[in-house]
C-alpha cells in the first residue's frame, strides 16, 4: 500500500486523530486534505490536474480564524497524513510537495494550498 493510499484510508477513518477529527471536513477535490473547521472551501479556486507525472492541485479556503491557529492546525494534522515538513517550510509526501500560504490579518484569513510533483517544483 502506498503512503498516499494509507493516508487516504486513515483520513476515511478520521476519528483516530484529535487534530483530524477537529477538522470535521475535507476539501472536496482532495479527500485526504483536511479543511479546518473555522474555514470554508472556495470551490471556484479549486484546480486539479492529474497526470502520469503526478497531480497538480490548487485549493483555497477562507474564514474567521487567526493566521497562527491555521498554521498550527496544519502543522499538527499534516504529519498524521504522511506529510513531512521540509526546512524551507514546504511539506513532502512520496513524490509530492505541498505549500501552505495564509493571507490576511486580523480575523479573516485566506488559506491557499498547492500540491505538485516534487521533481517539478524544486
Domain spans in the chain, listed from the N-terminal domain onward = 3-121
Q: CA-based Rg of the chain, rounded to a whole angstrom?
A: 14
Residue 120: its pLDDT value, please? 53
CB neighbourhood size of 23 (10 A): 21
CA dihedral 84, 86, 90, 95 (to 10 degrees): -60
CB neighbourhood size of 100 (10 A): 16
- Rounded average pLDDT per 10-residue block, the chain, 122 residues: 49 42 75 95 96 94 94 96 96 96 89 90 44
Amino acid at each position: 500500500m502506498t503512503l498516499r493510499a494509507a493516508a487516504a484510508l486513515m483520513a476515511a477513518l478520521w476519528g483516530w486523530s484529535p487534530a483530524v477529527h477537529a477538522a470535521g471536513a475535507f476539501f472536496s477535490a482532495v479527500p485526504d486534505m483536511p479543511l479546518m473547521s473555522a474555514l470554508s472551501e472556495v470551490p471556484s479556486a479549486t484546480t486539479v490536474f492529474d497526470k502520469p507525472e503526478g497531480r497538480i492541485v490548487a485549493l483555497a479556503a477562507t474564514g474567521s480564524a487567526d493566521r497562527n491557529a491555521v498554521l498550527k492546525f496544519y502543522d499538527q494534522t499534516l504529519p498524521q497524513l504522511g506529510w513531512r515538513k521540509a526546512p524551507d517550510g514546504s511539506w513532502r509526501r512520496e513524490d509530492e510537495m505541498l505549500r501552505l500560504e495564509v493571507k490576511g490579518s486580523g480575523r479573516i484569513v485566506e488559506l491557499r494550498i498547492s500540491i505538485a510533483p516534487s521533481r517539478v517544483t524544486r
